[in-house]
A and B are shown apart, each in its own frame.
Chain A
Amino acid sequence: AQSVTQLGSHVSVSEGALVLLRCNYSSSVPPYLFWYVQYPNQGLQLLLKYTSAATLVKGINGFEAEFKKSETSFHLTKPSAHMSDAAEYFCAVTRSSKIIFGSGTRLSIRP
């Protein structure tokens, strides 16, 4: 069964530093993978999705993720963190047309 594991429930980086949020998936078939962001008291907003086209996926707000089949990973990166990036980030995989979410990583940005 498809599932995702997010490594690190909380990540803190300095403003301007690289952001790296880790996600590993388990899937018996090629998966569709997603990253969502959730700001306080708001719903989930799609950052990017992988649907078996290009392995490097570019999303909104300068984020991108790379699908690595050999490592079963789909890590989210951003070259330079901004204060407005502080939020909760969820990795997700589809299974039978449903989205299954990881437990989330809270990103904090230090001035």
Chain B
Amino acid sequence: EAGVAQSPRYKIIEKRQSVAFWCNPISGHATLYWYQQILGQGPKLLIQFQNNGVVDDSQLPKDRFSAERLKGVDSTLKIQPAKLEDSAVYLCASSSEGNYGYTFGSGTRLTVV
């Protein structure tokens, strides 16, 4: 089966600019996650979708981050405006309900200068 697709792989922007990341999960996976991984740390959950509804966004900095999953398939994560501390790898993952089989994409490495 095809894996979780993410784009772009790399992005460099200046602070205060906006940026968007895209994720296409494994076909049929109802649950989609966005994680932020700062260099030297473990991934931190930003938001969890079940189909096209938000299950948990308690760790999402909502003043600058937003995410959507229209039609319950692919998803976009946006940052506006970006700060230097947003430099990280943004990982998307998906899972089928009750399976506890999480599959991660290759991530988008964001550098804010």
Contacts and interface: CB of A to CB of B under 8 A. Distances in A.
Nearest to A41: B109
Contacts of B101: 46
B43 to A, nearest CB: 5
A103 B41 contact: yes
Contacts of A94: 100
B25 interface: no
Contacts, number: 50
Interface residues of A, number: 23
Residues of B in contact with A, size category = 20 to 34
Contact of B42 (A32, A43, A51, A102): A102
A101 B107 CA distance: 16
B100 A51 contact: yes
Nearest to A106: B40
Interface of A: 32, 34, 36, 41-46, 49, 51, 90, 92, 94, 96-104
